[in-house]
Amino acid sequence: MAPLGAAKVGLFAAAGAGGDTGAGYFGGGQLSSGVKVSTVDKFAFPSDSRTTLGTGLSAIGKAQGAMANSGTAGYFGGGRNGSTEDTVDKFAFPSDSRTTLGTGLSSDREGVAGMANSGTAGYFGGGSYEDTVDKFAFSDDSRTTLGTGLSSDREGVAGMANSGTAGYFGGGSYEDTVDKFAFSDDSRTTLATGLSTGRLFLGAMANSGTAGYFGGGREENPTYRVDTVDKFDFSDDSSATLGTGLSAARRYLAGMANSGTAGYFGGGNESGGSVDTVDKFAFSDDSRTTLATGLSAAKYEVAGMADSGTAGYFAGGRDPYMSTAVDKFAFSDDSRTSLGTGLSAGVALFAGMANSGGL
């Protein structure tokens, strides 16, 4: 089989967002000699080095196609490990290798929230009763702090995003406030309609382009923990409360999503203590199922992020001690594995966000 170094015709290409570990693939085509081939060449991002797969196409073809694995990395930031932390750990997709950024959050914070404009930048907002929003450029992981932060100092906030358009930070410090940050200029507006009740230590996730969800948390009065899931339509930021909430009232949970398919809320604390529960909400009809396999341990104060289209991750938390564990759920079948390399230190009350090629 001839490599791509040989001239071919009838060959199609596709581009994906660059990343630390992704790759692009070119398959099939016809050589200048007229011979059709089944070759598949792989170009690693970002080095552009080429290898030829040992197994090519199942049949020789001329007008073949191409595709890219463009997932990049997920980030976990802030939290508490004996004292508040500014650490940001980065997990490369799909290898799941971990590095710790040289520049962390602008201050040590717990109860922080995360969200991302995939392909451009990620944001960590609030925590430790601050209004600070730190922005990390995905091109080089450099950090800037927005001139305009949250509309109030808050802890126990949750974040989600409509990638390419705007990100949202909701709740915290028993408030119902939802702040919206436009990705075009990082300007902030506060939604006229907030959460259905003021609460903190809730989770959030989003079906990018369609709607975002805030689930669970703790109210000041009267019910302490709630099973409520509020849905915000990205077309007009209107909100509705789902008829079916979480499988139980829960606080200190986390959310992540396979955009276009389903969102997940994992871990948390119920009236009987910590749980390993993972609730899955299908975006087609917002119906809920509970995964047969939950987290690797009952934990609360966890964080979540996802490589949309591939896998989601729940990390850290208390079980009851500070945990370094990172659980990975494959979106193809919701099976769980635990990463060989976890967080750089046991941490709780922190946040996750991701630069996901699936968005």
pLDDT of residue 321: 92
Tokens of 207: 């079906």
Integer angstrom CA distances of residue 182 from 27, 142, 162: 39, 20, 10
Written as six digits, the tokens of 199 are 């609460």
Q: What is the mean pLDDT of the chain?
A: 88
CATH 2.120.10.80 domain locations along the chain: 73-355
| pTM value > 0.85 | no
Most distant CA pair in the chain, distance:
78
2 confidence band (pLDDT: 50, 70, 90) = very low
Residues 6+ away with beta carbon under 8 Å from 227: 216, 245, 246, 247, 248, 249, 250
* CB-CB contact of 287 with 244 (8 Å): yes
Q: Residue 8 and residue 295: Cα distance in Å, rounded?
A: 48
pLDDT in the model for residue 236: 98
Q: Measured between alpha carbons, how far is 115 from 205 in angstroms, rounded to an integer?
A: 9
Scan for tokens 């932390």, then name that residue: 85
Confidence label for 359 from pLDDT (cuts 50, 70 and 90): confident
77 within 8 A of 350, measured Cβ to Cβ:
yes
Q: Give the C-alpha separation, 4 to 200, whole Å.
A: 55
C-alpha distance from residue 7 to each of 11, 35, 43, 62, 80 (Å)? 10, 11, 16, 13, 56
Return the number of other C-beta atoms located less than 10 Å from residue 84's C-beta: 20
Under DSSP, is residue 241 helix (H, G, I), strand (E, B) or coil?
strand
* CATH 2.120.10.80, domain 73-355, yes or no: yes
Q: Quote the pLDDT of residue 227.
A: 97
Residue 118 CA to residue 116 CA, distance in Å, equals 6
Report the chain's C-alpha Rg in angstroms: 21
Question: At 45, is the pLDDT very low, low, confident or very high (cuts 50, 70, 90)?
Answer: low
The pLDDT of 217-223, averaged and rounded, is: 85
pLDDT at 223 over 90: no
**C-beta of residue 348 within 8 angstroms of C-beta of residue 316:** yes
Q: pLDDT by residue (tens digit) across 331-354?
A: 999 999 999 999 999 999 999 999
Long-range CB contact pairs, 310-315, < 8 A, 24+ = 310/71, 310/93, 310/94, 310/358, 311/94, 312/256, 312/257, 312/258, 312/264, 313/74, 313/91, 313/256, 313/339, 313/352, 314/254, 314/256, 314/266, 314/267, 314/278, 315/76, 315/342, 315/343, 315/352
Using CA atoms, how far residue 245 sits from 92, 219, 298, 321, in Å, is 33, 15, 20, 29
Please provide the DSSP assignment of 105-119 as one string: -SS--SS-EEEEETT
pLDDT cut 90: percent of the chain above it: 77
23 vs 279 pLDDT, higher one: 279
How sure is the predictor about 36, in pLDDT bands with cuts at 50, 70 and 90? Answer: low
Q: Which of 146, 74, 148, 105 is nearest to 355 (CA)?
A: 74
- Residue 15 reports pLDDT greater than 50: no
